[in-house]
Amino acid sequence: MSDRHFELPASPNLEYYRKQAKHLHRAYATADAEAEARVADVLGGRAAERFQLTDAQFVLAQEHGFPNWAEFRAHVENRNTTGDRPVSRLVGIGPGAYASMADALLVELRRDDPGALRRLRAGVPRYATATSAATAGLRDARLVIARELGFPTWRELMSFTEKSRRDLDERRERWRSLHGDAEALLAGDTDRLAGLTAGQADTLLHMVAMPEAIPGVRLDEALGVPRAALEVVLGKATDLNLPLVWAARSNRVEYVRLLLAAGADPGDRSRGATALENAIHHGHTGVVDVLAGYGIVPPALWTYAACGRLDLVRDRYEAAGAERARPEPADAGVGLPPRLPATDDPAEIVGEAFVHACQHGRVDVVRWFLDRGVHPDVAPYFGRTGLHWAIQPGHLEVVRLLLERGADPSIRDEIFHADADGWLHIFFAARPHDPLTRELHESVNGPGSTRCPW
């Protein structure tokens, strides 16, 4: 399966790349600054003596991670595009942030870090069978970052990074321009809303999907706006799928329910993850339950487990190694980097299902996996065990079950570098007198630890 940014052309053919090479050749001949920089990055100073079309093809192949044009051409001609999917992983940060990611990865590559080697093999074709990452350079590290974000080259990542920042600014401006209409929606002014254009209606639905896009109001699980007024906007809109995804991310349970009833497609993944995948990764169990009632998309062991469907988990379990739909938190906008490239190891696939069952408090599914030998400390990505995943939403019964089965509360994850008690501090420090906080603290730290230390 290959991921690509949703605004890129789907599966370009060889003719597309031949034209790109010709364009680079012509641009270099006219002393185009960008073309000269691209050529110099690959060929150094030798291009000044001679730069032919074959050289332009070589530059293109190198930018895509191939050693030469022949291998790049063979890849384009023979690749299987079945399962290719669009993704949307840019979050409006500047190009310098991605450059820093590449610099950090280069340090790991030169250290021959096993995880960095795994990323290099997945992202740079000429290193696909490498046993060491020590010889990789900055261009390779940059290509890995680009590939992980859905771009075939670093140059395209940089181009769309700037575009994503412009798009974010334009979206904020559209929201500002509709503040009056948003106030009319809150007031139930159906007469004013009847004058909305389709584009304005689409934007307003997106705003309602967000917790704080409308000034002075915080929207949560309840619908939060007059239903009759919202139905006027729904009747004018052309896109219900984008607000559905954002509503799933934002725990807008009743809004999700309304969008689905109005015809939003729960299986849409035009920007990467379905609404259900978004809800799972964000830990919004109420939204997960609503969406599951319309169908579990994609059908996979990890989604069945997160939805608490033990019957479907049992049916899928034996064929775990054949799963194609795998969890990728980076597609859900949760602020996490892409995971290490997934493998076909059934244990890894079962581990993914296990931790998401823990995350959503599906105690029967968790117990079923444990009874079949799944280790309670399995951590398929980010070093997060089931205990980490269960603590954040406060699933006390799952936390107790994991500890009874031998889960180690001292394990630290790779993002916060925190053990189970550290996660309690992160997510429950603002609720020291909540009985749940005290029970979680006592479960993690042992009997007698009834007072929280914060």
Gap between the Cα atoms of 427 and 420, Å rounded: 11
Q: Is 343 left (phi over 0), alpha (psi -120 to 50) or beta?
A: beta
pLDDT at 320: 72
pLDDT at 93: 87
Q: Is a pLDDT exceeding 80 seen at residue 223? A: yes
pLDDT at 18: 97
Place of tokens 């959503």: 360
pLDDT category of residue 338 using cuts at 50, 70 and 90: confident
Exposed/middle/buried for 367, CB within 10 Å: 0-12, 13-18, 19+?
A: middle
pLDDT at 80: 75
User: What own/partner pairs with CB < 8 Å and gap ≥ 24 does 64-72 have?
Assistant: 64/125, 64/143, 64/152, 64/153, 65/123, 65/124, 65/125, 65/126, 65/127, 65/140, 65/143, 65/147, 66/125, 66/126, 67/126, 71/125, 71/126, 72/17
Torsion sign across C-alpha atoms 208, 209, 210, 211: positive
Average pLDDT over residues 226-254: 98
Place of tokens 């993690």: 444
* pLDDT tens profile 44-97: 988 888 999 999 999 999 999 999 999 999 999 998 766 678 888 988 889 999
pLDDT at 92: 84
pLDDT at 47: 86
pLDDT at 449: 63
Average pLDDT over residues 286-310: 98
Q: Is a pLDDT exceeding 90 seen at residue 258? A: yes
* DSSP labels, 256-301: HHHHHHTT--TT--TTSS-HHHHHHHHT-HHHHHHHHTT--SS--H
Average pLDDT over residues 136-143: 97
376 is written with which tokens? 């309670």
pLDDT at 307: 99
What are phi and psi for residue 85, nearest 5 degrees?
Answer: -145, 150
pLDDT category of residue 274 using cuts at 50, 70 and 90: very high
Output Rg (C-alpha) for the chain, integer angstroms. 25
* DSSP labels, 236-247: H-S--HHHHHHH
Sorted by where each starts, the structural domains of the chain and their CATH numbers stand as 3-85 (no CATH), 89-164 (no CATH), 299-454 (1.25.40.20)
Average pLDDT over residues 404-416: 97
pLDDT at 49: 87
pLDDT at 125: 97
pLDDT at 91: 82
